[in-house]
Amino acid sequence: MTDALRRGRAALLLSCLLAVAPARAEDAPEAIAETAPGAGATPEAGDALPGPTVLRLDQGFVLDLPAGWVLEDADDEPGDATGRRVVRVVCQTPACARTQETCTLRLRTGPVEGADDAGRLAGLHAAPLSRYFRLRAVLKSTSPGASIRRPIGPERFGPRDWIAVETEAAPRFKSGLFAETVIGGRYLGAICKTCETGPVRHESARALLASARRPAWSAAR
């Protein structure tokens, strides 16, 4: 009964969401920057690209940054992203000069309720209304007039199941891969964006997500 009530409230909440512009910076659509390939911002070929880095987040999450990917606003240590709830990593390889790939990783402060990780992951968007709001959020985050490229559903990145959805942006906006998983009861969300319009997209982003793990939790088990 309270479930139905809550869902009814969610439906009503939609009415107030309508007028609200994208609230969080990482959720806002990203327009393609007007930088020609090979222009100043791009590292010259032959420059020392940052090698593979281990990225450490709060709650014991660890990911392997692929070569050429860097943590934005890094302090002294390039792989230390602890103390942040939202972490942005940027691809700086020559290929990325065109695709301008980025990923935003997001943590939640509280644990996800459920018996095991599979159940918790399935529970994230069990209700159709919840999936609708997810689709609405990812389309809004991609661009005006965006469409769904790959419907929301479970997808395997490396050893782990994620719930992912891909969007196709309007011209001059970045398309996105939106994925969520639960490891040891903790939530990890990722928003990866690219200018790529071809059939193969988000390859290094998938590799990044495939490397997500929580060694401390695994050891504790």
| Residues lying near other proteins in the complex (CB under 8 A) | 2, 4-9, 11-16, 18, 127-129, 131-132, 135-136, 139-140, 147-148, 151
E-state strands within the chain: 53-56, 62-65, 69-71, 86-91, 102-107, 147-157, 160-168, 175-183, 186-194
Closer to other proteins by Cβ: residue 74 or 122: 122
Tokens of 71: 């943590």
Rounded to the nearest whole angstrom, what is the least distance from the CB of residue 23 to other proteins in the complex? 12
What is the nearest approach in angstroms of other proteins to the Cβ of residue 43? 37
Residue with smaller CB distance to other proteins, 107 or 135? 135
- The structure tokens 């439906």 sit at 11
Closest distance of CB 174 from other proteins, Å: 17
Amino acid in the structure at residue 75? D
Residue 155 CB, shortest distance to other proteins, in Å, is 17
36 vs 32, 33, 97, CA distance in Å? Answer: 11, 9, 8
How far apart CA 88 and CA 49 sit, in angstroms, is 18
Closer residue to other proteins in complex, CB, 4/25? 4
**Residue 98 vs 134, nearer CB to other proteins:** 134
